[in-house]
Structure 1
Amino acid sequence: MGEYIMDVAIVALLVIGITATVGVITNGIGTGLFGGKNKNEFVVQSNKIQTNWKSVGGGKGK
């Protein structure tokens, strides 16, 4: 019975992992092929918002 539960758990993890991976890959391909001029829309907006923010952490003597 323990082996059966372990097999089901392994198959479930593989199905979830493969599904997630295929989703990310498909999204990347779709954005690259069909994104047009708006494919970086969210990155550009995020960079606009973060313009002139102060840098924090990581530096000595700042």
Structure 2
Amino acid sequence: MAGYIFDFIVVAVLIIGITAINGVLTNGIGEKIFGGKRHSDISNHSAGIQSGWKNVGGKKQK
């Protein structure tokens, strides 16, 4: 029974790990090929809009 549980955990970790790596690689390739010269404009624009916002939640800084 312990062998079955060990095998199950190993296979689950491999499936999750391969899926996560595949997503990251596919995203990176897609940004390089289809992103063009302005692939970071959307995130830069979003950061510019949010630059004056107050932080909410979390711990207060001293």
TM-score past 0.5 threshold: yes
TM-score normalised to structure 1 length: 0.68
Give distance in 2, aligned partners of 1:50 and 1:20: 29
Letter in 2 for 1:48: G
Stretches of structure 2 that go unaligned for 5 or more consecutive residues are 55-60
**Aligned pair count?**
58
Q: Deviations over 1:12-57 (max 9, x none)?
A: 1111111111111110111011111341133212231134568xx5
Cross-structure match for 1:10: 10
TM-score normalised to structure 2 length: 0.68
Identity of aligned residues (%): 50
CA RMSD of the aligned region, Å? 2.4
More helix by share: 2
Give distance in 1, aligned partners of 2:38 and 2:53: 25
